Amino acid sequence: MPACAMPVPRNLNVSIVDSKDMRVTWLPPSDASQCGNQYEVIVRNATYQDKIMVTKTEYILPNINPSSKYIITIHATDKDNKPFAASASITVKMAISEMPVPRNLTASIVDVKNIRVTWLPPLDTGKCGDKYLVIVRNATYQNKAMVTQLEYTLTNANPSSVYTITIHATDKKDRPYPASASISVQIKIAVVPTVGDLTASQVNDTTIIVTWTKPVPVEKFKDEYHITIYGEGTKETYTTKETWIIASGWDITSIYNITVQGVWANGTLVPDVATTYPEKPSLGVPVVPRGFTAAILNCTTIRLTWKIPSNTKGWEGKYLLTVTSSTSTKNYTLERTEETLFNLQLSSVYNFTLQALSGCCKPFPAAAFITAKTSACDIPVPRDLIASPVNSTSIRITWKASEDTSDTGDQYMVTVRNATYETQDLVKNTQYVISNLNPSSVYNFTVRATDKKGRPFSASASITVKISVQGKLQLSSMRFFLVFLYSTNKKGNRKR
């Protein structure tokens, strides 16, 4: 076989992992039909030579001598794992100590699909720019991003995959240095049969609210929970499909234990239980917000208001708001005495628990509690409004018709505005494309259904986006994406 016809690994590259380790990466041969699933890696310098067979398209050489020159050669192998004669080689010598390298690279699991990576700047930033090159790779893909902050969040991670995340500092012209810091991480989803974040808060002298989060992974469990409250000489069991209950008619001082038990998807009870007990306010006047009220602004929006506690001892001016529905529990830390919640589910019950926070950001035991239910929208509102880039100066907006179209016509009023202009168009399709946009500008798109006479309803769906352009001057090398600032469904007009 002629040498030119032999499979040769491509794009051989070397990067510094840390002060003692070097990573070598490559791509498979263009024609891998003759190849097996292994590569032979040969590493040599002036004093030694080493060979190793690997199955991945990367190899980490440990314990390198920074003053030594290394020659690294990669051979593809045939179906019998015998190396082909043709190879790719690279020679490298790096003075690691002289290159800026990000420090203290740390990975943390945000949730079952997201990984956050943080780091510190190099010790000597005199030659550095204000950006970092982040390279994310796993067995099937590689992605790069330039960031200005000392963190990066990898979204929609595959829990079964191992991700290697490499961070390069850049020079004043945003060119990455060869030296880098790397970390490998994998999300492990363990079966946790007990519910999470179980808390019990006293609403008044005879009522408590018990809240929790679903066990994981959720698909292994039913939306069914058994709650048992134990008091002195008595106990009572509740069953619910929600992730909360309100229990009234109790002597709160007599409750000494509360358990919550989940149900497997096949209908059998989970043997493990989560336990807690109600937090009781200290003697004297409790530190608790007053006058907690909820106002239904429209079918998807609720406004909460309250007053500061009458007893402010130990309180530092912050609140913990817990919002619980049948599908989720969310927490908000607030400093004002009001909060408006948008994009709520139609015809849904929401429980709001409000607690004052101490100086060390721990909630005081006493809480204010209120329940509210959103209504069904009586005005047709377009659904599932989505913005996507067409090219570096154009955006396509798509949506679905309102759930009830009995009163609607066949047109939609689309309003586009930014800081300097506003335009409106009537369209018949459930999409709209706008061109010649300014990439540095923020655009708000509002879509309204119309009645049989073509008059727009007051209710609308809205989304605000910004095009960010990165890359070289040639259009073919540009990469563009949309930054979603916020999206709302609203009734009537809302000032921006």
The overall average pLDDT reported for the chain is 81
Q: What is the DSSP letter of 12?
A: E
Q: Is the peptide bond before 217 cis (omega within 30 degrees of 0)?
A: yes
> Could you give the domains of the chain?
3-96 (2.60.40.10), 99-185 (2.60.40.10), 196-276 (2.60.40.10), 290-373 (2.60.40.10), 383-491 (2.60.40.10)
Tokens standing for residue 445: 């798109």
The whole-model pTM stands at 0.35
Tokens standing for residue 366: 């006493």
Rounded CA Rg of the chain = 30
> What are the phi and psi torsion angles at 429 (to 5°)?
-85, 160
Q: What pLDDT was estimated at residue 483?
A: 36
Q: What pLDDT was estimated at residue 492?
A: 41
Distance CA 271, CA 200 (A): 21
pLDDT 10s digits, 457-477: 877 777 777 665 443 222 222
Mean local confidence (pLDDT), 308-315: 87
Whose CA is closest to 281, among 411, 340, 368?
Answer: 368
CA distances from 67 to 16, 44, 310 (A): 14, 14, 69
> Which residues are paired to 339 by β-bridges?
304
CA distances from 298 to 369, 374, 405 (A): 21, 8, 19
pLDDT 10s digits, 56-92: 999 988 888 777 788 899 999 999 999 988 888 888 8
How many CB atoms lie under 10 A from the CB of residue 462? 19
Mean local confidence (pLDDT), 159-179: 89
Distance CA 365, CA 356 (A): 9
Q: What pLDDT was estimated at residue 207?
A: 81
Mean local confidence (pLDDT), 86-101: 74
Helix, strand, coil: what percent of the chain each, to 5? Answer: 5, 55, 40
Tokens standing for residue 121: 């700047």
Tokens standing for residue 476: 């073919």
Whose CA is closest to 259, among 234, 281, 290, 226?
Answer: 226
pLDDT 10s digits, 127-168: 899 999 999 998 888 899 999 999 999 988 887 788 999 999
